[in-house]
Amino acid sequence: MRIFSARWRFLLPVVLLAFVAGCDDSDPTPEDLNLALGNPSGATSDPNQPNNYLLTRPEYALSYHRSRGIPNWVSWHLAAKDLGTAPRQDNFRADNALPAGWYQVTASSYTGSGFDRGHHCPSADRTASTASNSATFLMTNMLPQAPNLNQRTWADLEEYCRTLVRGGNELYIIMGSYGTGGTGSQGPDNTIDQGRVTVPARCWKVVVVLPAGQHSPDDVDAGTRVIAVNAPNQNSVGAAWGNYRTTVDALEAATGLDLLSAVAPAVQATLEARVDTGPTQ
Amino acid 215: pLDDT: 86
Question: What single DSSP character describes residue 211?
Answer: E
Measured between alpha carbons, how far is 258 from 230 in angstroms, rounded to an integer? 16
* Cα distance between residue 44 and residue 154, in whole Å: 29
Q: Indicate the annotated binding residues.
A: 150
Please, which pLDDT band fits residue 12 given cuts at 50, 70 and 90? very low
> Under a CB-based contact definition with an 8 Å cutoff, are residues 278 and 225 in contact?
yes
What's the CATH number for 6-272? 3.40.570.10
Q: Which of 97, 37, 87, 40 is nearest to 63 (CA)?
A: 40
- Indicate if 119 belongs to the active site: yes
Domain ranges of the chain: 6-272
Q: What is the mean pLDDT of residues 160-164?
A: 98
Residue 107, Cβ density class (10 Å: 0-12 exposed, 13-18 middle, ≥19 buried): middle
Q: Which of 63, 80, 81 is nearest to 72 (CA)?
A: 63
Q: Please say if the pLDDT value at position 4 is more than 90.
A: no
pLDDT at 2: 37
As annotated, the binding site for Mg(2+) includes 150
Residue 82 has pLDDT above 70, yes or no: yes
Task: Write the pLDDT tens digit of every residue in 189-206.
Answer: 999 999 999 999 999 999
Confidence at residue 231, expressed as pLDDT on a 0 to 100 scale: 98
For the whole model, what pTM was predicted?
0.90
In angstroms, the CA 125 to CA 116 distance is: 18
pLDDT tens string 170-184: 999 999 999 999 999
The span from the first CA to the last CA of the chain, in angstroms, equals: 67
Reported as half-sphere exposure (CB side, CA atoms, 13 A), residue 225 has a value of 16
Q: What is the pLDDT of residues 23-51, one digit of tens each?
A: 444 578 888 999 999 999 999 999 999 99
For residue 239, what pLDDT is reported?
A: 98
256 by DSSP, 3-state: which? coil
Percent of the chain with pLDDT over 90: 89
| Percent of the chain surpassing pLDDT 70 | 90
φ, ψ at 130 (rounded to 5°): -60, -40
Res 15 pLDDT > 90: no
Across the chain, what does the average pLDDT equal?
A: 92
Instruction: For strands 142-145 and 116-119, give the pairing.
Output: antiparallel
> What confidence tier does 11 reach under pLDDT thresholds 50, 70, 90?
very low
Reduce the DSSP state of residue 261 to 3 states and report it.
Answer: coil
Q: Which residues lie across from 57 on neighbouring strands?
A: 60
pLDDT value of position 197: 98
CA separation for the pair 262, 216 (Å, rounded): 9
Annotated catalytic residue within 65, 77, 119, 120? 119
Query: Residues 256-262: what's their mean pLDDT?
Result: 98
**What pLDDT, on a 0 to 100 scale, did the predictor assign at position 28?**
83
Query: If you ran DSSP here, which 8-state letter would residue 4 be given?
Result: S
